């Protein structure tokens, strides 16, 4: 395995920066992308355009601050402020406002306006867009105005995942929840259900358009019961990559009919239960999917990208594939269910593997299965063996794969040159042998960013992570916390995007005062303010002529790694950032 080297070449630091090894300096200016006017608890930058950093567009998502209903609940009187479903966890009938089982809190007259205060239906993520590295703006995707109060329903989850240099952004969102009431035919009692029309629908949006204007929907092939679709990336040629429902899975229609006729529920209720997976199975076959747009963001054609598995005649099996990135040469990368042992194929032994879809590329060979089964092995801990997560216009794909190191499964970053004479997964050198790494973005200068474990703790102990930059051409690596002048109040825990102008979009953790629902600070028994850790999207802008700063270990609780290339930051608290990206690259399986 190659040893990592400190970044000593200008191209490794950034496309435009010169490099000199002096202390107490920086290669990057850190620009915090402040929260929107409405405010978010955490913010994440997930893609950006490549023009100069002061004119580019950044897209992402943020978690909104919870809201409360003073009519039904006084947060000062009850710490269990989120309104939660009744103990049977059903969305039919009565609800327990405080989640405490007290019959006095049970109500059965829920209106649409109440749903925004209920933790089960309240928005968890909002789509955010940032023009010229200024303040975030929220974009409502499929949310609608509630006629009862003239306000947005605030019960959707919306995400931006990609944007191209034409400022066309893409992602997906859910439809808003609403209360559906009907009279039971047998008892003649009025009852209700809380429904939504679909769980995810891909969309495109042109930056600068009306934030409340109409979105362009990217529909799936299979729309029965609502269907699902999502978009993760858009190339400069307006090729959108994502996933879509393409057909009904075996048994889906029968389960839906049972809801209709055996349980005697309205069809709209059964449609919702099917789409949300409440009928006991996943109802859709889902495939990697592309939508080609014209210059007016109109869909010209769509195509499901298929599966590397060719099912025998008469065999029904639910296979899932996804597309995570597309380039201007027609290549698409992602993952697909595939055989663990291709030489002895068995539908009982399937895992998720990296896939390169080549149908529209200059070298069309179908679907490339690029994972070496001898090195990256299937295990019972995860259904995912490997994924291709990014792609540049040099036809170099990146991703991650799991392999066994010292008796433990570790995630390893890799890159794959499609045009090489003997293309193969090339593992990015680990910070230390058992360090897990991911690769999340690659620019056209062949620079990769992601996150890595910098802390050599043994076994299955959770290790803290930092964002990194790796240059394929010079085989050099930097811990991004070393490149920003050892800023004391920020810890860069993941790098999500590297643009062609050298700007890196990352996530940093920092401490913020803990506030009450009224916005007042909270103090401990000694009268000291209590702080909490938040995730903040940051842009790392190359400093022309910037210097590299070799930071020292700021956390005395953990010994300094003596291996060359060890740069240490300090963790402020645990955050579910890895969970966020699992969510990004996960659909109902």
* pLDDT (tens digit per residue) in 557-588: 333 333 233 222 222 223 333 333 434 445 54
User: Which residues on neighbouring strands pair with residue 62, listed in sequence order?
Assistant: 43, 126
Q: Which letter, b or e, does each residue of 214-235 get, where b requires 16 or more Cβ atoms within 10 Å of its Cβ?
A: ebbbbebbbebbbbbbbbbbbb
Asked whether residue 76 carries a pLDDT value surpassing 70, the answer given is no
8 A C-beta contact, residue 319 and residue 338: no
Of 217-231, 244-258, 355-369, give the lowest mean pLDDT range.
355-369
Q: Which tops the pLDDT comparison, 64 or 434?
A: 64
With beta carbons less than 8 A apart as the criterion, state whether 242 and 163 touch: no
Supply the pLDDT for residue 127. Answer: 95
Contacts of 364 (CB under 8 A, 6+ apart): 358
Measure the CA–CA gap between 164 and 207, rounded to whole angstroms.
10
* pLDDT at site 511: 83
Q: Using DSSP, state whether 114 is helix, strand or coil.
A: helix
CA distances to 4, 258, 447, 523, 530 from 555, rounded to whole Å, are 22, 59, 29, 25, 21
Each residue of 357-414: pLDDT tens digit? 987 666 676 899 999 999 999 988 889 999 999 999 999 999 999 998 888 888 999 9
Burial class (CB in 10 A: 0-12, 13-18, 19+), 373: middle
432/420 Cα distance (integer angstroms): 28
Binned at pLDDT 50, 70 and 90, residue 278 comes out as confident
Handedness of CA 185, 187, 190, 192 (dihedral sign): negative
**Measuring CA to CA, how many Å separate 230 from each of 50, 161, 346, 456?**
23, 10, 29, 37
Helix axis angle for 267-275 and 252-261, nearest 10°, is: 140
Q: What is the pLDDT of residue 275?
A: 87
Any idea which residue has 């690659």 for tokens? Answer: 442
Torsion of CA 512, 516, 521, 522, to 10 degrees: -100
Q: Which residues contact 290 (CB under 8 A, 6 or more apart)?
A: 239, 240, 241, 242, 302, 303, 305, 323, 326, 332, 360
Shortest CA distance to 153 belongs to which of 238, 82, 71, 67?
Answer: 67
pLDDT band for 3, please (50, 70, 90 cuts). very low
CA-CA distance, 560 to 541, in Å (whole number)?
Answer: 28
Of 193-197, 332-336, 355-359, 564-568, which range is least confident? 564-568
Asked whether the beta carbons of 198 and 165 are under 8 A apart, the reply is: no
Dist CA 237 CA 241 (whole Å)? 12
Distance CA 484, CA 471 (A): 18
Tell me what the pLDDT averaged over the chain comes to: 79
H or E stretch at 410 = strand 408-417
Tell me which H or E stretch contains 128.
strand 126-131
Q: Please compute the mean of the pLDDT values over residues 499-507 and round it to a whole number.
A: 92
Cα separation, 481 vs 486, in Å, equals: 6
Q: 3-state class of 116 per DSSP? A: helix
Neighbours of 161 (CB within 10 A): 26
CA distance 85 to 502: 48
Distance CA 303, CA 108 (A): 45
Q: Are strands 396-405 and 426-427 parallel, antiparallel or unpaired?
A: unpaired
pLDDT (0 to 100) of residue 24: 43
Nearest to 332 by CA among 388, 386, 294, 370: 388
* 477 contacts 565 by C-beta, under 8 angstroms: yes
More reliable by pLDDT, 390 or 11: 390
CA 153 remoteness from chain centre:
23
Tokens of 67: 């809201």
> What per-residue confidence (pLDDT) applies to 240?
97
- What proportion of the chain, given as a percentage, has pLDDT over 90? 43
pLDDT higher at 143 or 72: 143
Is the pLDDT assigned to residue 130 strictly greater than 60? Answer: yes
pLDDT at 586: 53
Both tokens of residue 445?
A: 């200068």
Alpha carbons within 13 angstroms on the beta-carbon side of residue 249 total 23
Cα of 476 vs its chain's centroid, Å: 27
């Amino acid at each position: 395995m190659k040893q990592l080297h400190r970044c000593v070449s200008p191209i490794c630091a950034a496309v435009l920066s010169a490099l000199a090894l002096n202390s107490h300096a920086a290669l990057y200016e850190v620009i915090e992308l402040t929260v929107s006017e409405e405010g978010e608890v955490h913010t994440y930058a997930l893609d950006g355009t490549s023009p100069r950093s002061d004119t580019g567009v950044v897209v992402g998502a943020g978690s909104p601050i919870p809201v409360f209903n003073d009519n039904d609940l006084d947060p000062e009187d009850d710490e269990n402020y989120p309104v939660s479903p009744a103990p049977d966890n059903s969305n039919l009938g009565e609800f327990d406002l405080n989640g405490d089982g007290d019959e006095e809190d049970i109500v059965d007259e829920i209106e649409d306006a109440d749903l925004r205060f209920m933790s089960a239906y309240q928005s968890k993520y909002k789509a955010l867009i940032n023009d010229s590295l200024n303040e975030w703006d929220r974009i409502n995707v499929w949310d609608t105005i509630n006629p009862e109060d003239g306000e947005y329903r605030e019960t959707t989850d919306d995400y931006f995942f990609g944007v191209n240099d034409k400022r066309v952004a893409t992602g997906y969102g859910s439809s808003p929840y609403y209360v559906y009431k009907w009279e039971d035919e047998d008892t003649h009692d009025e009852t209700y259900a809380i429904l939504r029309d679909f769980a995810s629908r891909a969309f495109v949006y042109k930056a600068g358009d009306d934030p409340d204007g109409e979105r362009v929907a990217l529909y799936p092939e299979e729309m029965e019961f609502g269907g699902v679709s999502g978009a993760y990336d858009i190339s400069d040629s307006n090729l959108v990559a994502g996933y879509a429902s393409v057909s009904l899975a075996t048994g889906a229609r029968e389960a839906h009919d049972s809801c209709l006729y055996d349980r005697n529920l309205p069809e709209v209720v059964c449609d919702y239960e099917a789409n949300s997976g409440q009928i006991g199975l996943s109802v859709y076959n889902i495939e990697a999917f592309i939508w080609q747009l014209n210059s007016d963001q109109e869909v010209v054609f769509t195509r499901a990208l298929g599966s590397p598995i060719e099912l025998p005649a008469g065999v029904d099996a639910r296979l899932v594939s996804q597309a995570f990135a597309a380039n201007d040469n027609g290549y698409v990368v992602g993952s697909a269910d595939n055989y663990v042992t291709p030489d002895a194929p068995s539908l009982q032994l399937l895992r998720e593997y990296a896939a390169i879809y080549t149908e529209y590329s200059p070298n069309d060979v179908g679907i490339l299965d690029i994972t070496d089964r001898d090195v990256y092995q299937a295990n019972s801990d995860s259904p995912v063996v490997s994924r291709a997560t990014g792609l540049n216009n040099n036809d170099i794909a990146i991703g991650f794969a799991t392999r066994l190191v010292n008796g433990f499964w570790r995630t390893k970053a890799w890159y794959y040159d499609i045009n090489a004479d003997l293309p193969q997964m090339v593992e990015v050198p680990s910070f230390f042998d058992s360090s897990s790494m991911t690769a999340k973005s690659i620019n056209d200068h062949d620079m990769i960013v992601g996150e890595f474990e910098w802390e050599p703790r043994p076994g299955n102990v959770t290790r803290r992570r930092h964002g990194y930059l790796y240059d394929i051409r010079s085989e050099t690596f930097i811990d991004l916390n070393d490149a920003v002048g050892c800023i004391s109040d920020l810890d860069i825990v993941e790098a999500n995007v590297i643009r062609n102008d050298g700007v890196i979009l990352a996530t940093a953790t920092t401490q913020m005062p803990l506030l009450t629902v009224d916005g007042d600070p909270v103090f401990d028994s000694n009268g000291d303010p209590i702080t909490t850790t938040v995730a903040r999207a940051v842009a790392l802008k190359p400093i022309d002529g910037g210097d590299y700063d070799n930071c020292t270990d700021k956390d005395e609780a953990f010994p300094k790694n003596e291996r060359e290339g060890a740069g240490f930051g300090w963790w402020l608290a645990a955050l579910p950032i890895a969970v966020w990206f699992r969510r990004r690259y996960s659909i109902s399986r």
